[in-house]
Amino acid sequence: MMKSRNSLIRLKRFQVDEKRRQVAQIEMMIAEFERMATDLDDQILAEQKRVGISDVSHFAYPTFAKAAMQRRDNLLVSANELRSQLDAAQAALSEAVEDMKKVELIEERDQMRDRAASDALEQDALDEMATRMSFRTA
């Protein structure tokens, strides 16, 4: 019983660690996409400044800037999609943590019960010894 519960606790901890890694990975991807989008914004502004045209509808608007805008927009869409995945991953992490806590609390309760039973047995043995000692001295 104790061995299987220890295995269960290890499994729950592993699951929590795995969920934490997933959350961290998604957060890193979002941050990277946003950083890349910001870099593209800077490149777009530099290109607009270089050619002196910032109106996207202008016939001479730079093709590079249009392509960079499309890539930036795609990155931001991907980052937003990842945010919904992040929400789901965070919810799964919370659930895994709760499951792990439940198993750990059961284990802690059982250990306290076992300690109390052991203490009671020890106290009974001490009481028995004290009773024998009092009969010898009487």
Per-residue pLDDT tens for 47-103? 999 999 999 999 999 999 999 999 999 999 999 999 999 999 999 999 999 999 999
Q: Count other Cβ atoms within 10 Å, centred on residue 59.
A: 6
Q: Are 103 and 8 in contact (CB under 8 A)?
A: yes
Question: If 0-12 CB within 10 Å is exposed, 13-18 middle and 19+ buried, where does residue 23 land?
Answer: middle
Supply the mean pLDDT for the chain.
92
Domain segments of the chain: what residues? 2-112
What's the whole-model pTM score?
0.73
Q: Are 77 and 37 in contact (CB under 8 A)?
A: no
Residue written as token pair 């109390």: 116
Q: What is the largest CA-CA distance in the chain?
A: 116
Q: Are 72 and 40 in contact (CB under 8 A)?
A: yes
pLDDT digits (tens, 9 = 90+) for 19-58: 999 999 999 999 999 999 999 999 999 999 999 999 999 9
